[in-house]
Amino acid sequence: MTLTNRTITRRTILKTGAASALVSSYGMPLLAQDRSLKIGSYGGYFEDSFKKYVYPAFTEATGIAVESVTEPNSTDWLVTMQQGMAAGTVPADLSLFARDSMIKASRIGGLLKPLDLAAMPATEKFDPYFVFEDTTGKIGVGAMGWFTAMVVNPQEVDVPTSWADFWDTSKFEASLGLSKNFNSQFLDIVAATFFDGEATFATRDGIVALVEKAAEIKPNVALWWSAESQMEQGMKNTDIVGGQYYYDVAGLMKADGFPIEPVFPKEGNPQDYGSWCLAALSDKDAEAAEFINFSSLPSTQALMSRNIGTAPLLDTAMLDLTPEELAGVTGTPAIRPAYQAYLDEETFIKETWDKMLAQA
Amino acid sequence: MSAPEAELSADFAASSSSPAPVRALPRLPIAKALMALLIAGLCIVPFGLIFAISLGHKVEGAAWVWGFEGANYQRFFVGAMWPDEVSSMYLQKLGYSLYYAVIASVLAVLTAFPFTWFLTRLSRAAQARWLIFLLSTLSLSEVFVVMGWDILLSNKSGLPMVLRELGITDWAKGNGLFDWARSQGLASPRDFKFKTSVFATVLTMAYLVWPYAVILLYPPLSRIDQSMIEAARTMGATPARVMRTVILPTVRLPLIGAVLLLFVLLLGIYVAVSVFADPAQQTLAISIYDEVRGATLNAPFGAAQSVILLVTAGAFLLMGQLILNRRTT
């Protein structure tokens, strides 16, 4: 079933391995064309959709052949890129990185090549937030977005209007599923709901206050999930009646008839996004520029939203998506995660969060 | 191999040493060298690598670099914020590793013992069928077993559903039992729930190693001399007394050996704990994986925790060996 496939492989578990990497490189016919490009994306449903909808349209528009490469997830792919660099190979010319992994790659240094945005006119329409620049230049351009959203089982509970409702033990005792990872944006939700948003992450006292507020929700949490599939099963089996989950996947589950409602409460939901980044050892600058330009076109952003369920990074007014199609992939307001703090205070936040969970 | 057997083979080697060495000698150095290579390749090199990584340095917000520092070991005992703050979180996780492994291995051996005892009383054909069945269940991976128990304990199709349909949930709500279960984290306001709980974790872990327990206990139990039991019965001993004074003393060493082996096996269990244990009760194996594969890319700290887990397992095996040796002399 595609849903399960997608939820497990897209962002979390390394499941595909070398075999599927091999299969995927055969997935696109390697035509005897002069120009080609190796592009990495998250394996499973996600990559399959790219091979089915996006790459053929790109090849048709530009004549550049695409060889698809499987990334298990951003963090593991970063390790693969590092090892590839050390061995002098290029695992993929263009890779998809979540923002935190991209900043990490930038800090490790020497892994990514600055992009020439003059060769990609379509990127001018992006909010500058989606073009990441470090000391070497612009190293990442936004590809697509996704939301971590509030979800509830509408058959069991009333749909809340605020994240604060989840702290109400009279309504949600031992009933919620939240992510166990310190950087899976629950702290950003706490910051947006009870504090000053990203600014609260600026000091260690602020971070401790966030974690202490998060600790107050513990009696209401029945499942601290580490893999998406746990949350999916928990909602399907009614072990839990609400929590934090991916907006697009929840929408797919709802479409399949499961009792789940993805919600945009008044504080909003955290938005994360993937960026296209060029490997430092790649010599396909020109082809990569053409692909990023293609990916940034309103028509391609709409194509991805429609067929892959990702949130568009352009102003929705530029897109030809229907209101229903838009509601299925995006919403407002969007909470922007405190990426910088998660990296600068990595060990501190992780251990403070883990201690809260371990009651140690 | 148990200690008496080891002594036996040593005796045999000593008594037969005078005529044999001429033929055995030329082959020995090659075999020894191969053995040494095998041990070096499969044990020492990987362990050395893990130890070397554990001395590495984590770069905040990036990955890690090779180094030579004990900070990761210090963090294990006092936490990363030391000296401002002392945390025993990682010791607590090690404690849970030991706690689950001890309970689950003892539980598996205690329940496998009567089963295996009755199994050895069956006909040879029946024994063979049971053993083949048990061996085939070993082909189920940990993930598969955990998935199965996940469904068996889930609200919609598992044990809570059975309790609800039988009216036990409503009955418990009437007499205060349900409120007690809620205070213990074993119920939501609506239904009983067994995920996440120590109960589900230990149950699944014991289930995972149960076939191993039977297979470990089968040889010693089936080797027990029937005539000893008959002699005891003839002299008026009750079956319970025969079990206590004849059978249990005979298989005491294999019983302890089985518990030790399963204990070490269970120390590293990952999937069952990650699915069934609350974060407050998770083990070192989970923490190691989170560091090495998780978002922080902190392989050095993961490696340091691995070394400590390995040393702990080694210490327990050594202790077991000492106990076994004392019992035999």
For the stretch B49-94, pLDDT in tens is 999 999 999 998 888 899 999 999 999 999 999 888 899 999 999 9
Confidence at residue B15, expressed as pLDDT on a 0 to 100 scale:
43
CB B233 within 8 Å of CB B242: yes
Q: How far apart are CA B206 and CA B273, in angstroms?
A: 12
Q: Which of B96, B178, B195, B305 to mutate to test the interface with A (most CBs of A within 10 A)?
A: B195
Please indicate, yes or no, whether residues A112 and A139 belong to a single structural domain of this protein: yes
Please indicate, yes or no, whether residues A222 and A247 belong to a single structural domain of this protein: yes
CB B75 within 8 Å of CB B57: no
CB A55 within 8 Å of CB A66: yes
Tell me the torsion sign for CA atoms A49, A53, A59, A62: negative
Please indicate, yes or no, whether residues A93 and A40 belong to a single structural domain of this protein: yes
Q: How far apart are CA B205 and CA A69, in angstroms?
A: 37
Residues of A in contact with B156 (CB under 8 A): 236-239
Nearest CA in chain B to A344: B61
Tokens of residue A338, six digits: 């405190």
> Does the pLDDT of residue B4 top 90, yes or no?
no
Contact B60 A222 (CB under 8 A): no
Contacts of A280 (CB under 8 A, 6+ apart): A85, A110, A111, A112, A113
Residue A332, φ and ψ in degrees, nearest 5: -135, 155
Owning domain of residue A46: 2-146+271-329
Confidence at residue A308, expressed as pLDDT on a 0 to 100 scale:
85
Query: From the list A14, A104, A173, which residue is nearest B188 (CB)?
Result: A173
Residues of A in contact with B196 (CB under 8 A): 222-224
Please indicate, yes or no, whether residues A286 and A304 belong to a single structural domain of this protein: yes
Instruction: Establish whether the linkage from the previous residue to A337 is cis, with ω within 30° of 0.
Output: no
Confidence at residue B266, expressed as pLDDT on a 0 to 100 scale:
95
Please indicate, yes or no, whether residues A35 and A74 belong to a single structural domain of this protein: yes
Check residue B24 and report its DSSP letter. Answer: H
Please indicate, yes or no, whether residues A282 and A265 belong to a single structural domain of this protein: no
CB A214 within 8 Å of CB A190: yes
Query: From the list B92, B193, B294, which residue is nearest A239 (CB)?
Result: B193
The domain total for chain A is 2
Please indicate, yes or no, whether residues A341 and A204 belong to a single structural domain of this protein: yes
More confident residue, B195 or B26: B195
> Does the pLDDT of residue A359 top 90, yes or no?
no
Mean pLDDT of chain B: 88
Please indicate, yes or no, whether residues A242 and A347 belong to a single structural domain of this protein: yes
Q: What is the mean pLDDT of residues A285-303?
A: 95
Contact B195 A223 (CB under 8 A): yes
Query: From the list B61, B187, B274, which residue is nearest A226 (CB)?
Result: B274
Contacts of B194 (CB under 8 A, 6+ apart): B153, B158, B159, B160, B186, B200
Q: What is the CATH number of the domain that holds A126?
A: 3.40.190.10
Confidence at residue B140, expressed as pLDDT on a 0 to 100 scale:
86
CB A287 within 8 Å of CB A37: yes
SS3 A222: strand
Assigned CATH class of B89-153+194-328: mainly alpha
CB A143 within 8 Å of CB A326: no
Please indicate, yes or no, whether residues A264 and A277 belong to a single structural domain of this protein: no
- DSSP assignment of A145-205 equals EEEEEEEE-TTTSPPPSSGGGGG-HHHHTT-EEEE-STTSSHHHHHHHHHS-GGGGGGSHH
Tell me the sheet residues that pair with A41.
A70
Q: Find the distance separating the first CA and the last CA of chain A, reported in whole Å.
A: 41
> Does the pLDDT of residue B8 top 80, yes or no?
no
Confidence at residue A15, expressed as pLDDT on a 0 to 100 scale:
39
Please indicate, yes or no, whether residues A20 and A106 belong to a single structural domain of this protein: yes
Please indicate, yes or no, whether residues A219 and A347 belong to a single structural domain of this protein: yes
Q: How far apart are CA B93 and CA A288, in angstroms?
A: 47
Distance from CA of A138 to the nearest CA of B (A): 19
Q: Where are the alpha helices (DSSP H) in chain A?
A: 2-9, 17-27, 45-49, 55-62, 74-87, 99-108, 169-172, 186-194, 204-215, 228-236, 247-255, 285-296, 298-308, 323-329, 339-344, 346-358
Q: Find the distance separating the first CA and the last CA of chain B, reported in whole Å.
A: 16
Q: What is the mean pLDDT of residues A85-97?
A: 93
Q: How far apart are CA B80 and CA B317, in angstroms?
A: 30
Tokens of residue B192, six digits: 């009983």
Strands in chain B per DSSP E: 57-58, 64-65
Tell me the sheet residues that pair with A278.
A94, A113
Q: Which of B85, B188, B290 to mutate to test the interface with A (most CBs of A within 10 A)?
A: B188
Tell me the pLDDT tens digit for each residue of A100-158. 999 999 998 889 999 999 999 999 999 999 999 999 999 999 999 999 999 999 999 99
Confidence at residue A3, expressed as pLDDT on a 0 to 100 scale:
37
> Does the pLDDT of residue B156 top 80, yes or no?
yes
Confidence at residue B325, expressed as pLDDT on a 0 to 100 scale:
82
Q: How far apart are CA B258 and CA A118, in angstroms?
A: 69
Contact A343 B60 (CB under 8 A): yes
Residues of A in contact with B294 (CB under 8 A): 75, 181
Q: What is the mean pLDDT of residues B121-147?
A: 91
Strands in B42-190 per DSSP E: 57-58, 64-65
CB A190 within 8 Å of CB A331: no
pLDDT range class, residue A98, cuts 50, 70, 90:
very high
Nearest Cα residue to B255 out of B9, B207, B263, B240: B263
SS3 A22: helix
Contact B63 A82 (CB under 8 A): yes
Distances B78 to A171, A207, B125, B288 between C-alpha atoms, Å: 38, 21, 58, 17
SS3 B122: coil
Tell me the pLDDT tens digit for each residue of A316-355. 889 999 998 898 899 989 999 999 999 999 999 999 999 9
Query: From the list B190, B282, B295, which residue is nearest A75 (CB)?
Result: B295
Distance from CA of B149 to the nearest CA of A (A): 13
Please indicate, yes or no, whether residues A249 and A310 belong to a single structural domain of this protein: no
Tell me the pLDDT tens digit for each residue of A183-241. 899 999 999 999 999 999 999 999 999 999 999 999 999 999 988 888 999 999 999 99
User: Which residue is listed with tokens 């919609």?
Assistant: B156
Tell me the pLDDT tens digit for each residue of A259-288. 999 999 999 999 999 999 999 999 999 999
